[in-house]
Amino acid sequence: MKLLKVELKRFWSRRITLIAPGVFALLLVLGIGIAFTQSSADPPDPDYVPQPDAGCVEFTIQAREEGDPQLANLSDDEIRESCTFEDNPDRRVWVTDLLSLTRSDDWSEARIAEQEFNGVAIPGTEYREAKRGFDSALPGIATMVLILAVVLGGSFVGAEYRAGTVENLLLWEPRRIKVILTKCLSGGLGAALVGGLLLVFFTGLFFLLASVRGTLEGADSRFVLDVVIVIARSMAVTALFFTLAVAIATLAKNTTAAVVAVLGWFIVSNIIIALVAKWFQPFELFTNANAVIGGGEVAKTVKILGGSDVAVFSHGPWTAFAIVALWALIPTIVAAFVFHRRDLT
Amino acid sequence: MQQPVIDVRGLRKDFRNGVAAIDGLDIQIEAGGRVHGFLGPNGAGKTTTIRCLLGLIRPSAGDVKLFGVDVASNLPSIIGRIGALVETPKFFPNFSGRKNLQMLADVVGVRSVAIDEALDTVGLSDRSGDKFGTYSLGMKQRLAIAATLLKDPELIILDEPANGLDPAGIVEIRQLIRSLGSSGRTVFVSSHQLGEVQQTCDEVMIISKGRLIRQGPVSEMVSLGASNKQIVTVRDPAQAIRILNDAGFNVQPVPEPETVHVEIPAARADEITKALAAHQVFLSGMRPAEASLESVFLELTEGQGEL
Ligand SMILES: Nc1ncnc2c1ncn2[C@@H]1O[C@H](COP(=O)(O)OP(=O)(O)OP(=O)(O)O)[C@@H](O)[C@H]1O
Ligand SMILES: [Mg+2]
């Protein structure tokens, strides 16, 4: 408990705990400032008449003709109406841009009626598509916050190896497993709080901008709750990313290794997986982190008749959370073990 | 019988690069306010031994007990009784000296008063608010010594505490170590500064290449090195050397002006005077070279010190 307090205090006294989120917040303000200048100050055009989207209408009518059961009893007018989007001629900021509100019933099914094997058709498996989570401004910023947590976590431990203070600490608390777990816990809590504050700050700015230069339309209590939940989930994932960085920095005895490893993985993982191990995609760190944050489902790729790939449901956000937790905990356990046995010279 | 404060038996440490830093070391140190010197040339294994004592590195073989407790399994139960400084001061450069101490003190709940006292003891009170990174080498060392005092420890382990200190600082630390010893604490100080050990320690252990080569009271060690060397002061050393050489003395020229070293027991020093006077050379001074730990040290570690 005492050690936890000491480490928490240290977390908050570090310069980087202020500077890194400060720079981050500054970039947010800058980004939103650009959005502000890009948006029009003109009031909505009173003569604006919403037009149905021509492509959408054509496509839907064609699908109905081809016998899509869900469209069978729609009239042309109804189709035109459903293809009329709330498009605004002014480039105004919509607060709902914060989250794209894909609802839980938005998923459809990908049926694979049959597969062919040696020229013989065999009954196929039924799949459904993975539900997409919220994916727009807020979850995007939340992903950047994860990288920030990695910088904070890596340097939380890296600084200790640089200054050699781990050795000193162990002369006061020799239980090394306790020492490393306390670092994960204290810094994880701290990083989650920093991340949460940044997201709240961003949301606040966005609401402000939308109310000045756009519309708060759609921001009902359900929307606000969605935003709060996204932030809460981000905080949990942020703490796990901090822990992951602590583990890598402990193993490598420096900050850079942790940052390079995670950032490098963030940049190249998709390419590597696509080339080498497609089956691994549903277990990839950032894929699952995004699913947790956006509340979506994770997709996997299956081959359907004709050899083409489709992305179908693999697992839901809770499993995704468990997978992110494993990504953080397995390295932490390894690091704790190595640290426990390590000679400090 | 009283339990030894430090009890090391058959300690070995082989580093992964194949260096056998410690090679079967035994140390027994009884409780009681004594200052124990741990002397050895560079690379002798002093720091490695201290790290083993403190559980920072894991011995390849052997037992390490402090206060009768096995360090490998039970260090947490006794760490509160030990204050230690290992090799170089290690603190966060961006935090003040005081804050660095506070963070350590808070780990075990040491009172803030102890921090003030410790800072005062090492003479760092007025700079304690400055960042550690801005300290001079000597100030860093003082802070590290202050840290060892915070727990009010029974056993104090100091690895080369005089490192980087100016002469005044060395005298202060010397006094501090003596007073720690006389206040009933056991102090274990490593050093390669021989004069240092001679002036502060009661007992001394000399190690070389990871092995104990001599152990005993400092006084005994010094007498071991009692010198047979006389330092002679004459106006013309070259002439004196010629005369003494001719007379069969073992003479060593030295770089100091007007000085010659002559190998002869103090009891026979008058022979030097006679030989020189016979050639109308009169010495202006003669004294026995000080018996020093240095000579013992060099003698004992001769041929063992180099790697
Ligand atoms: N981490 C390490 N890996 C490999 N060898 C090491 C390591 N640490 C120390 N050594 C070796 O162990 C031997 C003893 O080193 P140690 O630091 O204990 O000497 P020392 O007596 O403290 O010397 P000094 O007076 O220079 O401080 C040296 O040969 C050193 O090179
Ligand atoms: Mg050393």
Would you mind telling me the total number of residues written for chain A in this entry? 345
Q: Which of A331, A328, A332, A329 is nearest to A179 (CA)?
A: A332
Nearest to A343 among B57, B82, B99 (CB): B57
C-alpha angle A67-A71-A72 in degrees, rounded to nearest 5: 60
Query: Residues B70, B31: contact at Cβ < 8 Å?
Result: no
Class of domain B6-223: alpha beta
Return the ligand number nearest the Cα of B44.
Answer: 1
pLDDT-above-70 percentage for chain B: 92
Q: What is the pTM of this model?
A: 0.83
Chain B residue whose CA is closest to A343: B57
The neighbouring-strand residues paired with B214 are: B206
The pLDDT value given to residue A24: 93
Amino acid letter, residue B295: S
Spell out the per-residue pLDDT of chain A, length 345, in tens.
Answer: 899 999 999 999 999 999 999 999 999 999 888 877 776 656 556 566 677 888 888 888 888 888 888 888 888 888 888 887 665 445 566 777 777 645 444 455 556 555 566 666 666 666 777 777 776 788 889 999 999 999 999 999 999 999 999 999 999 999 999 999 999 999 999 999 999 999 999 999 888 888 887 778 778 888 889 899 999 999 999 999 999 999 999 999 999 999 999 999 999 988 888 888 888 989 999 999 999 998 888 988 877 666 667 778 889 899 999 999 999 999 999 999 999 999 988
Residue type at B157 in one-letter notation: I
Cβ contact (<8 Å) for B108 and A344? no
Q: Is the pLDDT of residue B307 over 50?
A: no
The H or E element spanning position B36 is strand B35-39
Please check the confidence at residue B73 and state whether its pLDDT lies above 80. yes
SS3 B287: strand
Ligand 2 centroid to Cα of residue B245, in Å, is 43
Tell whether B135 is within 8 A of chain A (Cβ): no
Query: Ligand 2 centroid vs B18 CA: distance in angstroms?
Result: 18
CA distance A21 to A24: 5
B229-290 placed in CATH 3.30.70.100: yes
Q: Residue A171: list chain B partners with CB under 8 A.
A: 54, 56, 79, 82, 84, 86
Pocket of ligand 1 (CB under 6 A): A 345; B 15, 17, 19, 21, 40, 42-48, 192
Give the Cα separation of A257 and A209 in Å (integer): 39
pLDDT at A240: 98
Q: How far apart are CA B140 and CA B90, in angstroms?
A: 8
For B227-258, what is each residue's pLDDT tens digit? 677 888 888 888 888 998 898 888 877 888 88
**Whole-number pLDDT of residue A183:** 95
* Residue of B14, B56, B98, B99 to mutate, interface with A, max A Cβ within 10 Å: B56
Let me know: does B105 contact B114? Beta carbons within 8 Å. Answer: yes
Q: Tell me how crowded residue B288 is: count the other CB atoms within 10 A of its CB.
A: 15
- Residues composing chain B: 307
- C-beta atoms of B90 and A163 within 8 A: yes
ipTM, two decimals, is: 0.81
Q: Are strands A109-111 and A126-128 parallel, antiparallel or unpaired?
A: antiparallel
Report how far residue B58's alpha carbon sits from residue B78's, in angstroms, rounded to the nearest whole number: 17
Closest residue by Cα to residue B232 from B292, B277, B283, B291: B283
DSSP states of A56-102 as a string?
HHHHHHHHHHTT-TTTTT--HHHHHHHTB----SS-PEEGGGGS---
Evaluate whether B44 touches B210 at the Cβ level (below 8 Å): yes
User: Which pLDDT score, from 0 to 100, does residue A104 have?
Assistant: 45
B229-290 matches B6-223 in CATH topology: no
Q: Give the Å distance between the CA of B160 and the centre of ligand 2.
A: 7
The SS3 of residue B237 is: helix
pLDDT at B306 over 50: no
Q: Which two tokens stand for residue A285?
A: 């760190």
Q: Where are the domains of chain B?
A: 6-223, 229-290
Strand pairing class (A214-215; A93-94): parallel
pLDDT at position B303 is 52
pLDDT band, very low/low/confident/very high, at B72 (cuts 50, 70, 90)? very high
- The per-residue pLDDT for A180 is 95
Are A343 and B104 a contacting pair at CB < 8 A?
Answer: no
Q: Convert the pLDDT of each residue in B79-96 to its tens digit.
A: 999 999 999 999 999 999
